[in-house]
Structures are given as structure tokens and as C-alpha cells.
Structure 1
Amino acid sequence: MTQTLEHLLADGDRLFQGFFEWLDGQYDEESGGFYYARSSKRSGRFTPDIESTAQALNIMDRCDLLERWSERRKQAAVRFFQERQDAATGFFYDADPNMRLDGVMVGRALGYSLNALRRFGAAPLHPLPRQSEATPEYMASVAAYGDWLRSISLSNSWRGCDLLSSSAAHLLALTPAEREPYVNEAFAYLASIQHPDSGLWGEGSRYVQISGTFKLHLFYQRFEVPIPRQDAIYRSLLETLREDEAFDMCYVRNPISLLMSMRPSISAAEMLEIAEVTLANMAKLKRDDGGFSREIDHSPPAPNVAQVKPGETYPDMPAPVLIGLGEVEGDMNAGTQAILIRHALRELAGLPADPLPVAEHLFRDRPVAAE
């Protein structure tokens, strides 16, 4: 069985043919950043953005490709992030003003930027946001925090659980004594609304609920608390893989990431089945340009609302931050997830993370005449 699984995963590596050519083509020599998709670059309407650039660097780091970069490119990446820090607030922003309206996206940009700068031994140019400025009103008291938790709609489990999980950073900023009543409030509430049979949270399709449960599992992990009903969650995950259509790369990745977090006991037969379904679903999202698309029919032009399907509205739905045209094309978000899936499947299978082949000329300085 192990040998069959090893052959299956090796055969699945063919999905990455052309991927690194696509990734290298997203690089922008002038800014030192990466575009989200080919339409972002070709249309002339967009610029390289924080998330796409950080995700590209994460792919390169995971695939041991940053060592190919010259010192000039590394310093250009440092400038890319430093120039996007706002001196007044300390946060990092893209040019689109709508980004500042999405607290989740602003928080991600801060983490992405700081990690990228640390990777190159650099630091922000300006002081980071003071905790008093970054702390939301709901942290004023345990009662206020509890009210905020109960106010979050879980009609879309993925979006709602993502918002709930975003409070972890604020809880971790407290002292252990201050934090304890907040953490107790959170886990008591989450336990009260977990579906007893499925082990999942919220509403929406099963893939949406699994995606939301994955977000909450990360929250539980931050505080070293075991997630309740793990056996039920695992059964629901297997049933979903077997029976439901995964038309979004997140629906392919989130179950695998949830398995990586939970580390349940997986039989050899189930591991083979999980890998077969996952690779088949990934293949549906592979594009002619060499990349992978977030969604089955196109790449979402505004990733910060990709959790919400057309026609759906929610009180906390952010304004779209457009970074592409939404064509049938590869995008950086999906590419990041495809690499994560590949590494996770090999780890779950107990196999070494053998590197993917990458042409020697890629990720090198380009001749001046070609720029």
C-alpha cells in the first residue's frame, strides 16, 4: 500500500509542470514584488501586492529557491515591504484604499510583511502599531468580548470562524492572568455551538464548514487546547471528500491542513483514498498558463471576499480589494496552496519532502536588455 501511495504522489508531481515558469513570470523587476496573476500584470491596471509577494517568497523558501536570488533582488524585496509601511500607523498597506477597511486583511499584511523582512535580515522603517491602537473595542472587557463572539454570524462558517480566530492575536497580547477569563469565554461559547454529530461549526456546505473548522482548530492550537469531537470531525472530513465537489482550491487544501493540525490516526487505505481525491481535485484547478486557480471557473479578482460566493451578503463583508481581472488563470493564492498540499500529503504519508525539479535559469537576474 505504501509503495502504491508513493507512486501516486510521484505521479501527482506532474501537476507542477510549468508551475515554476509561471511563478517566475509573476516577478516584477521594477518594484521587487510579485503580481497575483497574469491578468494583473498584463492589464496594466494593478501592481504587485503584499500578499502575493509574501506568498511567492514562501513558495520559493519552501522549495529552496531563494538561494538562487541575487543580493540585488533580496534588497529589492526588502524595499518593497518597507515602502508599504504607513509611518503614521505602523501597518503595511497596498495602494487600494479598500484594504484599510478589512481588518483581517490588514492583520495578514502586517504578519506577511514582518516575516518577509525577517527572512532577509531586515526590519520595518517605522515603529509598529502600539497595542493600544491595534486593540479592538471588544477587548475592553470579558463581557464585551463575549458579546462580540456571539455577534459574529456563522451563516458562512468559513468567514465567521476566520473572524473569530482573528481575536487570538489580541488574547495572546495579554498576560496569562488577564488572558484566562477571555480564553475561557471563547472556548465555552465554541463548545456550546459545535454540531454534536458532525463536530463542525456554523452553516454552509460541508466544505465551508470544514474550512471554518480548520480556522477554529488553529485558534485552539494557539492556546494548546484540544479541539472537541475530533473523531466526529475526521468522519465528516472523509464523508465530504468522498461525496462533495471541491470547486475551490481552499476546499482541496483546508481538509489536508486540518488533518495536519489534528494528526488523527489514518489507515493506509484511507490515506491512499485521501491522496487520490485530493490530487484529482487539484488537477481540475490546473491552468494552461502553468499555475493553479482558486476557483473552478476563474481566479477571484478580490481574494479578500473569496470566501463569499456571488449573491451572498453579510453585515461584516469587506469592500473588495481588486488585484486581478478574475480570468481563467493561475493565481498566487492557489499556487501557494498547491505547494502546501503537496508537502502535507507527503508528510501525512510518511514520505520525505523530495524537491520538485526547477529549471536552472529560473529565479535568476535577468539581462538588462530583457527588462
Structure 2
Amino acid sequence: MKRRLDGILERGDGLFDGFFEWLEGQYDPDSGGFYYARSSRDSGEFVPDIESTAQALNIIERCGLAPYLTEDMKKGVVRFFQSRQDPETGYFYDVNPNMRQDDVMVGRALGYSLRALRKFGAEPLYPLPGSSLGDAASSFPDYCQSPEAYGEWLRSISLANSWRGCDRLCNSAPYLAQMEEEKREPFLQQALSYFASIQNPETGLWGEGAPYVQISGTFKLLTFYSKFEVPLPRTEQIYNALLHALRHETASDMCYIRNPISLLSAIHVPMTEEELTEIAEITLDNMARLKRTDGGFSREIDHSPPAPNVAQVKQGEYYPDMPAAVPIGKGEVEGDMNAGTQAVLIRYSLRQFAGLDEQMLPAAKVWLSTRLTSADG
């Protein structure tokens, strides 16, 4: 069985052939950022965006390539994120004005930008939202004015689509994290009490929708629990729900492939070697269906979504707070940065489950050797 698992993981590594050449092609030295997809760059209609740049850095770091970044590239990344901060609010925004209207994107951009800047020893240029400095504190959402207002806001979020709804719920975590501990505690208790009251006792999942939609929503809430180092409840039920979905549902989105793996990493439920082998085989078979000829991976089975902030909504579905689209690509059959960072995370998570070291991807070694040889020449 161990030999079979090793063979499955080795075949999975082969899916990354050409991936790092694709990643390199997304970099824009002028801005210091990364494009979302090939069509983002080639069409001339888009510019590098915050999420794609942060995701590219995550790939570079996870694959052991960070030590090989040049000083010019590090300075470029810092310049990119600092240029995206609004001096009036302290938030970080992409150039598309619709992005400012999507609270999920705004919240994520704040976290992405701060982590990236601090990774390179840099800081924001202006006071952050909620800071005691300047007028930035006024940019905290209204629901953060009191624990009671926060509780009302939590209960107002529709979970008809678990993925989107839970994404909005956990988007409040960065604001709570910036509060002093004494002030944060009643807000945190509002959230944890509400989440406990609406968790499905049989599956351990939250919200409504197809099984993978509920799993994706649960993964989103996991980020809230993890932020405040609170254990995720009903982990055994979640594990059984994950196994059932893997065996019986069609994974048509890279998130449907990655989110179960990330949940497994968090809940620490013991897996038999037979279960792990089955999980790895199903996962990598699903991932192979999203590999593209340009070397990258697509988020969705038919194409790369042009506006990732509405990719959670499938055709014919609707939810009350549907955001305006923020296109960052043309939506072609192509690799995109969102799927790429998830594919890399899946690979390293499966190796961790199997008790293997974080060996650099063979494709990364090949790409790196050609760059080092070229530099020496």
C-alpha cells in the first residue's frame, strides 16, 4: 500500500511540468506584481492584482524558491503593495473600483498586503483601518461598533450559498484581530456562539448548497477559528462528510479539490493508510483535469473564471448580496494564479499526510537549475 501511495504522489508531481515557466511569465517587473492569468497580461486590458501577487509569493515560498528572489524583485513587490494602499482609509485596493464594494475582497486584500510587506521587512505607508493614528479608525465597518451590532450583522448574512455566506462571515476576523484582547472577547463570543448554533450536528458542515459548496463554506469558517486558535468543532462528522463527497461528488472547481485537503490538515482526524491512498488518488485525478497546456491550472473545469470574486456562484444560483464583478482576466481555458497556489498547497499537504519531507518539486528544481545556469553564464 505504501508503494502505491508513493507512486500516486510521484505521478502527481508530474502535473507541475511547465508550471514554473508559467509562473515566471505572470511577473510584471514594471509594477512589481503578478498577473492572474496569461490573458490578463496578453490582452492589455488588465494589470497585476493584489490577490494574484500574494498568491504568487505563497507559491514561491512554499516551493522553496524565496531564497532565490533578486533584490530588485523584492523591492518591486514592496513597491507594488505600498502603491495599492489608500492614504485616506488605510485599505489596499486594486484599480477596478468595483473591488472596493466587495467586503470579502477588501478584507482579504488587507491581510494579503500586510503579510507580503512584513515578509520583506517593509511596512504600510499609511495608518491601517482601525488604527489609533489619524482618521483611519473611522473606516472600521459599522458592525464593529458594538458586540450587539456585530451579532446582528452575523445573523443577517445569508447562508443559502454556504461558500459565499461563510466567506462573508469570516471576513470579519481581520477587524476583530486588530482589537485589543479585552475589547475583542465579547465580539469573539458572539461569533463562536452563533456558529455553534447553526452547525449541522450530523455532517459538521455549515450552510446550504451542494456538498462541495458546504465543505467550501466550512473551510472558510475554519480560517476564522484558526485566526483565534479555537478548535473546529465536530471534526469526526466533518471527516465523514469529506470522505463521502470525495467518493460521490464531482469536483469541478480547484477549490472543491483543495478545500477538503485543507480541512483535513486542520482537523487532525487519524486516517488509515488505505483512506489516505484513496484520498490522494481521487484528489490528484481531479487536479489533473484542471491542468492546462500553458503549464498552469484552471480554477474551473471549463475555463479560468474571469472575475474570481463571483466564481462561487454557479449558473442559475443567486444570493442576496451578490457583488459586482471584478474582472482580472478573460476567462479562457488557461492557468490562473488562484488555482496554481491551491495546486501547490495540495501537493505539499498530501506529502505531509504521508509523513514525507517537504521535498522541492522536481519541476521547480529543473526550472531553478536553468535559471542559475543562465545567471552563471
TM-score range, shorter chain: over 0.9
Of 273, 296, 310, the residue aligned with 1:268 is 273
Listed as ranges, the gaps of 5+ residues in structure 2 are: 132-136
Deviation, 1:227, is 2.4
Alpha-carbon distance in 2 for matches of 1:89, 1:266: 47
SS in 2 for 1:216: helix
Among the aligned pairs, what percent are the same residue? 63
Cα deviation 1:202-235 (Å, max 9, x = unaligned): 1110000011111112222333333222111110
Corresponding position: 1:296 with 2:279: no
Structure 1 counterpart of 2:352, from 347, 351, 359: 347
TM-aligned CA distance change 1:171 to 1:119, over 3 Å: closer
Alignment of 1:1-371 (within 5 A): 1-131=1-131, 132-357=137-362, 358=364, 359-360=367-368
Could you tell me which amino acid in structure 1 is paired with residue 223 of structure 2?
L
Distance 1:280 1:196 in 2: 31
TM-score normalised to the size of structure 1? 0.94
* Matched AA of 1:213: T
Superposition deviation, residue 180 in structure 1: 3.0
Q: For residue 27 of structure 2, give the secondary structure of its aligned residue in structure 1.
A: coil
The separation in 1 between residues aligned to 2:370 and 2:304, in whole angstroms, is 24
Select between 154-163 and 140-149 the one with higher mean Cα deviation.
140-149
Native 8 Å contact 2:295 2:335 kept in 1? yes
Q: 1:355 to 1:365 in 2, by over 3 A?
A: closer
Kept in 2: contact 1:86–1:92 (CA 8 A): yes
Residues 279-314 of structure 1 show CA distances to partners (whole Å, capped at 9, x for unaligned) of: 000000000111000000000001111111133232
Aligned residues: 367
Provide the rounded CA distance (Å) in 1 between the counterparts of 2:26 and 2:150: 42
Structure 1 window deviating more from structure 2 (182-191 vs 207-216): it is 182-191
Give a deviation string over 1:244-302, Cα, whole Å, max 9, x none: 00000000000000000111111111000100000000000000111000000000001
* CA distance, structure 2, for counterparts of residue 304 and residue 364 of structure 1: 37
1:360 is paired with a residue whose SS is helix
Distance 1:202 1:292 in 2: 28
* Separation of aligned partners in 2, 1:155 and 1:218: 20
Partner amino acid, structure 2, of 1:360: L
CA RMSD of aligned residues (A): 1.9
Distance in 1, Cα, partners of 2:78 & 2:141:
29
Inter-CA distance 71–180: structure 2 relative to 1 (3 Å threshold)? closer
Give 1:362 shift.
6.2
- Bigger shift: residues 306-315 or 192-201: 306-315
Greater mean deviation of Cα atoms: 91-100 or 61-70: 61-70
CA contact (8 A) 2:203 2:238 kept: yes
Structure 1, unaligned runs of 5 or more: none
Contact 2:176 2:184 in 1 (8 A): yes
Native 8 Å contact 1:285 1:293 kept in 2:
yes
Moved more, 329-338 or 49-58: 49-58
Q: Say whether the 8 Å CA contact 1:247–1:295 is kept in structure 2.
A: yes
**Contact 1:297/1:328 (<8 A) preserved:** yes
Quote the Cα distance in structure 1 between the aligned partners of 2:338 and 2:52. Answer: 7
Cα 1:226–1:75 change in 2 (3 A) is: closer
User: Is the contact made by 2:111 and 2:174 (CA closer than 8 Å) also made in structure 1?
Assistant: no
CA, structure 1 residues 177+255, in 2 after alignment: closer, same or farther (shift >3 Å)?
A: same
CA shift for structure 1 position 336: 0.4
Structure 1 contact 18–289 (Cα < 8 Å) conserved = yes
Structure 1 residues 147 and 283, CA, compared in 2 at 3 Å: closer, same or farther? same
Judge conservation of contact 1:6–1:351 (CA < 8 Å) in 2. Answer: no
How far residue 188 of structure 1 moved from its aligned partner, in angstroms, is 2.2
1:69 and 1:364 in contact (8 A); partners too: no
**Whole-Å Cα distance in 1 between the matches of residues 97 and 370 of structure 2?**
34
